């Protein structure tokens, strides 16, 4: 151990290092935050610039003094944006609701009921988790086409109302509920279905909410399947709508109007996220993948 002046030197060096490290950290985090936010800022900014202003700016300005909402009006009148919106809403709600029903029933059977072949079927289910959608989408396309369900809601919805992964997630959660509750309910003469609705679903609400959130995000952003199965614009979802707007809408160069449409499409999920921030992030870290 050195003397007191030595100590002071060490203390000072440690403090300087601390400050430098803090600064670098905040700088790095700040840069990434700008990277993330900038596209959003740019899309909002562009959406309130008028068409003529936008096109006369060779060097785009970072703000505008004369914001206009004309582009938003155009977005809803020149292209059937409201229609896309409504389609997506219906698609998202129906898909999510049907899926919740299907997976809840399946998870209940796997966790609570006893029947011959249960373990075998469950193993088969787990094996299906490894199958990527890309592999089965070809036949599904053929199936839906042959059923004459192209350009219809059933055609859009039916292939995505089950998820083996969510069944698995929910079953694990159901299985944690102590058996005693079930026996107690049985003794009281509660039927299986009633037990599921009155006891298991309320207890496992957090998991169901997680699944709902993930499915809503997935539905709202789904692009590939709707693109395959719809070519009639009156059944387009927002993703396809955007693609359509980009290629045929507004006259190709009306960027501000396109951005207005993009803002409108992005807002619902962002608002939903900001309201249920914790739930969403918790849910995604438990059961989500993307990337």
Partner 1 sequence: MEQNNYKGWLYLLPAIAFLGVFMVYPLVDVFVYSFEEGYNSASQTFFGTGLYNYAYVLHDPYFLQAVKNTLILVAITVPVSTGLALLISVGLSSIQKLKDLFQTVYFLPYVTNTLAVGLVFMILFKKTPYTDGLVNLIIGLFGGKSIDFIDGPYWAKMFVLCFYTVWVVMPFKILILTSALASVNQDYYNAARVDGTSKLRIFGRITLPMISPMIFYLVITGFIGAFKAYSDAVAIFGTNLNAAEMNTIVGYVYDMLYGDSGGYPSYASAAAIILFAIVLTITCINLMISKRSVHY
Partner 2 sequence: MKVVLQNVTKKFPSRSKKAPEDVIAVNDFTFEIPDGQLIGLLGPSGCGKSTTLNLISGLQKPTSGRIFFDTNDVTDLPPENRGVGLVFQNYALYPHLTVRKNIMFPLQNFKGEAKLTKEVMEEKVLEAARLVQIDGLMERKPSELSGGQQQRVAIARALVKMPSVLLLDEPLSNLDARLRLQTREELRRIQQETKITTIFVTHDQEEAMSISDMIIVMSAGVVQQIGPPQQVYDDPVNLFVAKFLGTPPINVFEGEVREGKLYIGQEAVLQVPGAADQPVTVGIRPEGFVLREDGPLSCNLSRVEVMGRDISVVSTHPLCQNTAIRSIISAENQHSVGGPMVRFALKPAKVFLFRKDSGERIRFEVD
- Strands (DSSP E) contained in the chain are none
Question: What contacts 67, CB < 8 A, 6 or more positions away?
Answer: 48, 49
Instruction: Report CA 83 to chain centroid distance, whole Å.
Output: 20
94: partner contacted, choices partner 1, partner 2, none (Cβ within 5-8 A by kind) = none
| Binding flags for partner 1, 270-289, as an x/- string (CB under 8 A) | x-xxx--x--xx--xx--xx
Question: Is residue 14 part of the contact set for partner 1 (CB under 8 A)?
Answer: no
Residue selected from 1, 113, 135, 187 as contacting partner 2 according to rule CB under 8 A: 1
3-state secondary structure of 189: coil
247: partner contacted, choices partner 2, partner 1, none (Cβ within 5-8 A by kind) = partner 1
Check residue 200 and report its DSSP letter. I
Contact 162, 98 (CB under 8 A): no
Query: What gap in Å lies between CA 273 and CA 280, rounded to an integer?
Result: 7
Q: Of 12-41, which residues contact partner 2 (CB under 8 A)?
A: 14
162: partner contacted, choices partner 1, partner 2, none (Cβ within 5-8 A by kind) = partner 1
Question: Is residue 208 part of the contact set for partner 1 (CB under 8 A)?
Answer: no
Query: What gap in Å lies between CA 235 and CA 241, rounded to an integer?
Result: 9
Q: Which is nearer to partner 2, 15 or 198 (CB)?
A: 15
Contact segment (CB under 8 A) with partner 1 among 7-15, 65-73, 77-85, 217-225 equals 217-225
Question: Is residue 10 part of the contact set for partner 2 (CB under 8 A)?
Answer: yes
Question: Is residue 3 part of the contact set for partner 2 (CB under 8 A)?
Answer: yes
Question: Is residue 153 part of the contact set for partner 1 (CB under 8 A)?
Answer: no
Query: What gap in Å lies between CA 203 and CA 181, rounded to an integer?
Result: 11
Question: What contacts 242, CB < 8 A, 6 or more positions away?
Answer: 261, 262, 265
For the record, the structure tokens of 217 come out as 């995000």
Query: What gap in Å lies between CA 170 and CA 185, rounded to an integer?
Result: 21
Query: What gap in Å lies between CA 64 and CA 34, rounded to an integer?
Result: 19
Q: Of 195-254, which residues contact partner 2 (CB under 8 A)?
A: none
Question: Is residue 7 part of the contact set for partner 2 (CB under 8 A)?
Answer: yes
Question: Is residue 162 part of the contact set for partner 1 (CB under 8 A)?
Answer: yes
Question: Is residue 7 part of the contact set for partner 1 (CB under 8 A)?
Answer: no
Question: Is residue 207 part of the contact set for partner 1 (CB under 8 A)?
Answer: no
List residues near partner 2 by CB under 8 A.
Answer: 1, 3-4, 7, 10-11, 14
């Amino acid at each position: 151990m050195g003397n007191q002046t030595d100590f002071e030197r060490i203390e000072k060096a440690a403090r300087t290092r601390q400050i430098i490290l803090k600064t670098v950290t905040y700088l790095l985090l700040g840069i990434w935050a700008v990277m993330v936010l900038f596209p959003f800022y740019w899309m909002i900014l562009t959406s309130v610039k008028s068409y003529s202003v936008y096109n006369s700016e060779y060097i785009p300005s970072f703000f505008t003094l004369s914001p206009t909402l004309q582009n938003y009006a155009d977005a809803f009148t020149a292209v059937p944006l409201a229609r896309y919106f409504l389609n997506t809403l219906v698609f998202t709600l129906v898909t999510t609701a049907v899926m919740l029903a299907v997976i809840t029933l399946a998870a209940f059977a796997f966790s609570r009921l006893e029947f011959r072949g249960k373990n075998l079927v469950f193993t088969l289910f787990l094996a299906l988790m490894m199958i990527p959608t890309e592999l089965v989408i070809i036949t599904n396309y053929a199936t839906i086409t042959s059923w004459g369900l192209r350009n219809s809601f059933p055609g859009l919805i039916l292939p995505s109302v089950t998820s083996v992964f969510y069944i698995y997630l929910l079953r694990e959660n159901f299985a944690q509920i102590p058996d005693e509750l079930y026996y107690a309910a049985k003794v009281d003469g509660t039927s299986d279905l009633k037990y599921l609705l009155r006891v298991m679903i309320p207890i496992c609400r957090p998991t169901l909410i997680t699944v709902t959130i993930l499915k809503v995000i997935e539905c709202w952003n789904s692009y590939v399947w709707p693109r395959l199965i719809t070519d009639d614009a009156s059944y387009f979802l927002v993703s396809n709508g955007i693609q359509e707007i980009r290629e045929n809408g507004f006259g190709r160069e009306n960027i501000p109007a396109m951005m207005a449409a993009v803002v409108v499409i992005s807002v619902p999920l962002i608002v939903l996220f900001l309201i249920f921030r914790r739930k969403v992030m918790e849910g995604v870290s438990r059961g989500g993948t993307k990337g």
